[in-house]
A = this chain, B = another copy of it.
Amino acid sequence: MSGVTNRFLSNATNRIDAKGRVSVPAGFRNVLVERGIQELYCLQDFIYPAISVGGPDLLDRYERQIASVDPFSPEANRMSLLVHGGGVFMRLDAEGRLMVTDFIRGFTGISSEVTFVGRSDHFQLWQPQAFQDAQAAAREGRFPSRPA
C-alpha cells in the first residue's frame, strides 16, 4: 500500500566479501517479503550487461514474451538461449546475502562491488561503472548496442 515497499526502486552499491557474498539492500528484501517471493530466478537481460532477479513470475513473463514471437525466428532463438540456457534459481542466506557466482561475474563484469538497480517488478545486478555509463547513455537518448 505504502508505495515504498511494493516496488523495486532506486539503486545502491554494496561490497562483495571474501567469500563472494553480497548483501541485498534491505529495501529490496522488504519488497521480496511483501511480494511473497522466496525463490529468486536470475536471468540475463536481453539488452544490458545485467542480471535480472525476480520471483518465478519473472520467468513466466519472459516465456510468454518468447511465445509471442515467431518461434523459428532468430529473435526467439536468442531469447530462449538467454532465458532457458542462462537462467538459474538462487536463495538468500539468513542475513539476506546472495552468492555472486562466476555466471553472474562473467555476464556482468562484476568483480568487487555490485550495484543493485530497481526495475519495479524485479531488480538487477550491475557492474557499478557499467550502470553509470548505461544510465548516462539512456539520458542522452542513446540506446545500448545489441548483440547480433
Q: What is the CA–CA distance of A138 and B79 in the complex, to the nearest angstrom? A: 8
Interface residues of A (CB under 8 A from B): 2-4, 7-12, 39, 41, 44-48, 56, 63, 65, 72, 74-75, 77-82, 84-89, 91, 103, 117-120, 124, 131, 134-136, 138-140, 143-144, 146-148
Helix, strand, loop or mixed for chain A's interface?
mixed
Assess the B47–A74 pair: CB atoms within 8 A.
yes
Q: What is the CA–CA distance of A64 and B141 in the complex, to the nearest angstrom? A: 19
How many copies are assembled? 2
Q: What are 22 A-B contacts with C-beta separation under 8 Å?
A: A2-B39, A3-B89, A9-B88, A9-B89, A10-B85, A10-B86, A11-B103, A44-B135, A46-B139, A47-B77, A74-B146, A78-B138, A78-B144, A81-B117, A81-B134, A81-B138, A84-B117, A85-B124, A85-B131, A85-B135, A86-B135, A140-B146
